[in-house]
Amino acid sequence: MYILSVNSGSSSLKFQMYDMPEEKVLISGTFERIGLENSFYTIKLNGEKVRKEKNLENHEVAVNILIDELVDNKVINSLDEIAGVGHRIVHGGSKYSKSIVLDKNILDDISKLNELAPLHNPANISGVYAFMKKIPNAVQVGCFDTAFHQTLQEDKFRYAVPDLWYEKYGVRKYGFHGMSHKYVSERVMNIINKTKANVIVCHLGNGGSISAVKDGKCIDTTMGFTPNAGIVMGSRSGDIDYGIIPYIMKKTGMSITEVDNELNKKSGLLGISKVSSDSRDLDEKVKENHKPSILAYELYVNSIVGYIAKYYVELGGVDVLCFTAGIGENAPNIRKLIIDKLSCLGIKIDEEKNNECRFGKEGVISSTDSEVLVYVIPTDEEVVIARDTYSLI
C-alpha cells in the first residue's frame, strides 16, 4: 500500500512516499520558498538527489508538481495507487490526542486552533486541501505534533494562573515535537528490548524540546502553551521571567507583537552570540575563542542539563537518555558538554563512540560504567505519520 507522508510549512512542503507496511521509502523531496522568489524543489530517488528551479506560487502548485514527479519517475502509474496521505498538523489542542481521518468538518474544527499556532496550522491545513483536490480518492489523515503529550497529568500541564484562563481560553501546556519524541522513545525501547523503561528524549535542533517518557507514555515535556517555552533554542529564548515583557515594552515602545517576534526570532543562540542560530557557525566562533558564542553554548547546555535533572527526579531514575534532531544527532561536542555536567547522576560518555555517532548513525555513546544508557537516535517523523495513516486505513 502506497502512503504519502507530508509536512507542509508556511513556505515549504516536505514529503516521503512509503510502500507500507514494509516502510520502504520510494521517493522523497522538499519544496522550498513556496510563494516567495527563487523557489525550488529537490527530489531524492534511488539514492540520487536532483534540484529543480520552479516558480511555486502556492501549495497547490507544489502538490501538482509533486504528483507529476511521481508519475514521470514511474513511482506510480495512477493516482488511485496512493491509498492515503498523512499530514503533520502542529496543533491539535487538547481535543485531538491521536491521529484522525480528516474531512471538511474536522478541518473546520482544527482551524479554530489556528491562533494557537498561527505560523503552522494554516499552512498544514492548506496542504491538506491541496491533496484532497488532487487525490480525492486517497484517505487524508491528520497527525498532530501535540498528540504524544496528551498523556500529561493535570499537575504537569496546568499553569498556576487564574482558572478562567484554562477553562475559557485553553491556557495550558501542550508540548510539541510529539512525533519525534514518540518515534525516538519507541525506537530505543525496541533496541533495549523492554516494554517498561524510563526514557528522556532530547530533541535538539534549531527548535528544541525535552520529554520524560515512562513506559512509552509522556509524563512531562519542556515546550508549553507555545513552542517558545523550555530550553534555549536557535532563535527562541526558552523560559524567561514574564515580567521582562512589559518592562521592555515600556523601555522601547515596542508592541507585544514586536516583542514576541524578538523572543521567537532574535533570541536564543542567535541573541546571545550575535552571530548565528546555527550551531555549526557557532562551533567555528568558539574555536576562535569568541566569548559571546561561548556564553551562548553555556546558557544552552545549562538549560538542557537543568531539565534532564528535573525529569530524572520526576521519573524516579532514568534507564536511557536519547539525543535526536539536527544538533542532537550531529554535534558530539555539545552532547559531551551536556553529559559531562550530568556525571553526578552516574551518566558518563565514551568519547570515541560519541564522535562516531553523526550524520544518521544510530548508536550508544555512554561508557560501559555509565549508570544510564545514552543513545543517539536519528528521528523519523515521516515514518510515524506513515504508520498512523496505514493503521487508520
**Residues designated catalytic:** 145
HSE-up (13 A, CA, CB side) for residue 225: 13
Cell numbers 533496541 correspond to 191
Please tell me whether residue 326 adopts helix, strand or coil conformation. helix
CA distance 83 to 344: 51
In SS3 terms, 249-299 reads as HHHHCCCHHHHHHHHHHCCHHHHHHCCCCCHHHHHHHHHCCCHHHHHHHHH
Evaluate whether 173 touches 221 at the Cβ level (below 8 Å). yes
Evaluate whether 231 touches 201 at the Cβ level (below 8 Å). no
Beta bridge partners of 202: 210, 323
> Do the strands 82-89 and 139-144 form a parallel or antiparallel pair, or are they unpaired?
parallel
Grid cell listed for 41? 524543489
CA distance 205 to 244: 26
Please tell me whether residue 80 adopts helix, strand or coil conformation. helix
Torsion of CA 279, 183, 81, 33, to 10 degrees: -20
Quick one: DSSP state of residue 97? -
> Do the strands 139-144 and 198-204 form a parallel or antiparallel pair, or are they unpaired?
unpaired
